[in-house]
Amino acid sequence: MDKPGIHLIEVARLKGEGFDRRLSVIHFLQLLRQRSIGTERLRIEGLDYMLYHYPSLGLEVRKALQEAENFLFNRKAEVTFVVDKLTYGEHPKLVYKGGEIEVHSIFGMLVPEAPGHFYTERV
């Protein structure tokens, strides 16, 4: 990938990708609020699980990303949210435990990069 911004990608598409750090969504949000993220490649896991079990936390993720948008952009951080499966209709959706979860309200306009991979420079 090597493209600063926010990526949403299926785990099966990550063949050979190296990351500087591997974080849970919660740990990522904590570091983001503390502004403890540098110019690095981050692998964020558990978004699909979290949104399936706690759908209202999607608003918290969006709020945190919006508040830190300039910080992440200036740091040229590459944040990759790794999920089990994605589908695309009018907007991308996570597929988890047989259900579909909208992510447009969290990430805004996501652009397809490849099958199972979406990207946005800014939220």
Please check the confidence at residue 78 and state whether its pLDDT lies above 90: yes
Alpha carbon 19 to chain centroid, angstroms: 14
**What are residue 12's phi and psi, to 5 degrees?**
-65, -20
How many Cα atoms within 13 Å fall on the side-chain side of residue 55?
9
User: What is the mean pLDDT of the segment spanning 65-91?
Assistant: 94
pLDDT for the residue numbered 106 = 95
Residue 3: both structure tokens together = 């493209």
pTM of the model: 0.94
Residue 65: both structure tokens together = 């990303």
Domain ranges of the chain: 5-120
- Place 84 in a pLDDT band, splitting at 50, 70 and 90: very high
Q: Taking Cα atoms as reference points, which of 15, 115, 122 lies closest to residue 73?
A: 122
